[in-house]
């Protein structure tokens, strides 16, 4: 393979990785801004979060086209093949995270006057470790660090603990005041969306680990916390 072809190939791989990181940056801000919109009852910001989702979808579609083209033209093997396939899987996971962040923002627009600041704060508290988990796994992807990826994968129980806590807290609010049932239902869905974002971050961590070392993480290594 000539030096020019090798250089062009490397540029294509770097572009694919850059697009994945761009996609990750967008969904990071979507999670953070959805939580901010909820906390401040900022309907304009919530609408902005929803409006960003098509951009995520466009990058995912373009990444998929790049993957197909790279495999067809370059016939990659070994680490390069793992890099390309992992990028496709990770872009799918990020697209789903974007959908979940969008759903949180949509529900933030539908809350009525019966939602209390305490109910909002419960979701905001849960959003912080979820956002951090996404940041950590994107950093692991950018650096190709298997240890960092495994650390994210192993921390999934922390998100489940937050979800269980928020679930019980919301039930308490509903029992205290049945007028909060509608708002409480939205809050429970938001909490579940955040928990699912954590699951997608775990999936990304598995792909990053596989890309780096060529082996899959085993669920037998990590006991799963029972959820409420």
Each residue's pLDDT tens digit, 168-177: 999 998 888 8
Dihedral angle computed from the Cα positions of residues 104, 121, 169 and 161, in that order, rounded to the nearest 10 degrees = 70
Asked whether 208 and 136 are in contact (CB, 8 A), the reply is no
Q: Tokens for 171?
A: 């039930």
For the chain, the average pLDDT equals 92
For the residues 108-132, what does the mean pLDDT come to?
93
Q: In this predicted model, which residue has the larger pLDDT, 158 or 220? A: 158
pTM: 0.92
Nearest to 191 by CA among 215, 221, 165, 214: 165
Question: pLDDT at position 226, please?
Answer: 57
The label of the residue with tokens 């994945």 reads: 20
User: How does residue 225 score in pLDDT terms, banded at 50, 70 and 90?
Assistant: low
For the residues 218-227, what does the mean pLDDT come to?
58
222 pLDDT higher than 60? no
């Amino acid at each position: 393979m000539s030096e020019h072809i090798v250089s062009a190939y490397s540029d294509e791989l770097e572009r694919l990785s850059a697009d994945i990181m761009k996609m990750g940056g967008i969904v990071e801000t979507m999670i953070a801004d959805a939580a901010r919109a909820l906390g401040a009852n900022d309907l304009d910001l919530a609408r902005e979060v929803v409006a960003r989702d098509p951009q995520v979808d466009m990058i995912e579609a373009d990444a998929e086209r790049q993957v197909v083209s790279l495999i067809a033209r370059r016939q990659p093997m070994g680490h390069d093949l793992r890099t390309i396939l992992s990028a496709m899987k990770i872009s799918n996971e990020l697209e789903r995270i974007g959908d979940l962040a969008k759903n949180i923002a949509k529900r933030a627009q539908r809350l009525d006057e019966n939602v209390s600041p305490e109910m909002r704060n419960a979701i905001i508290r849960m959003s912080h470790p979820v956002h951090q988990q996404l940041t950590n796994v994107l950093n692991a992807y950018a650096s190709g660090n298997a240890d960092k990826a495994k650390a994210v994968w192993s921390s999934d129980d922390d998100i489940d603990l937050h979800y269980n806590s928020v679930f019980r807290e919301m039930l308490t609010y509903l029992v205290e005041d049945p007028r909060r049932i509608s708002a409480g239902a939205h809050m429970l869905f938001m909490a579940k969306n955040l928990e699912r974002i954590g699951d997608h971050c775990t999936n990304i961590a598995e792909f990053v680990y596989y890309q780096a070392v060529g082996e899959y993480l085993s669920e037998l290594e990590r006991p799963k916390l029972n959820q409420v």
